Structure 1
Amino acid sequence: MSRSRDRRRRRPAYNRRPQEFYWLWIAATATYGVGDIVSTIAFLEYVPTIGEANPIVVLALDSFGLSGLVLLKIAVYLVMLWISVTGARDGDTLLYYFPPVLLTLVGTYLTASNIRLLWLS
């Protein structure tokens, strides 16, 4: 039996290990979704002398205000979730784990950076 055929027979990783899937995405949501959004909004509101550094976020903020920031974050989150689910269905471990781990690391870094800038200002 070929490897690709064997992958189709296996249940996706999120069905075999649902707790793992949920915790990976809870961590991504907490850091990238909540932590970065809240700390960015706090930073923008309480430190008006320093602006947002990311040009894509600046464009979203200028065009749609804070809702633009939230919509941008949701769009990135949903694309990454789609990649992870597709990876799980295809049996691709890298595509399954990479999106939530990346969002968690990026969210942690951005949240810590925003809090540091808030603290120093």
Structure 2
Amino acid sequence: MAARWTRLREQEFYWLWIIATATYGVGDTVTTIAIVQFSPTVREANVLVRAVVETFGNGGLAGLKIAVLLFCIGLSLAALRGTEDRISYYAPPVVLAVVGAFTTVYNLRLLLG
């Protein structure tokens, strides 16, 4: 029974992070790059992201996104292995997925509208 529970938890962990990576890591990043590169009228609203892109280009944006993802994965893993705090386990991927989905849709509206 314990092996089955561990396998289910591993699958849950992977799916949570696949969704977070797809929305925040890919969706938001691709649409942000599209706005920065192809829209003469729309400017990046996030001051940190704008500074990173102006200083390091799209590679800097990708690096920032990867750093945030890795940091949040670390928080989630620490909660899983340490105190087993459910909020600290679920919050990082859920928050990133929600933020990523929202900003992806918002960016698409700006690009297409």
**TM-score (norm. length: structure 1):** 0.85
Aligned match for 2:25, one of 33, 42, 45 = 33
Separation in 2, partners of 1:14, 1:115: 38
Q: Which has the larger radius of gyration?
A: 1
Aligned match for 2:88, one of 92, 95, 107 = 95
Task: List 4+ stretches of structure 1 deviating above 6 A.
Answer: none
Number of residue pairs the alignment of both structures matches: 110
- 1:14 and 1:20 in contact (8 A); partners too: no
**TM-score (norm. length: structure 2):** 0.90
Deviation digits for residues 11-51 of structure 1 (CA, Å, limit 9, x no counterpart): 9x876511100100000000000000111111112212211
Aligned-pair identity in percent equals: 49
1:49 is paired with a residue whose SS is coil
User: Which blocks of at least 5 consecutive residues in structure 2 are unaligned?
Assistant: none
User: Which blocks of at least 5 consecutive residues in structure 1 are unaligned?
Assistant: 1-9
The Cα of 1:63 is off from its aligned counterpart by 1.0
Aligned match for 2:106, one of 104, 109, 113 = 113
Separation in 2, partners of 1:14, 1:44: 43
Aligned match for 1:60, one of 41, 52, 56 = 52
CA RMSD in angstroms comes to 1.8
Partner of 1:72: 64
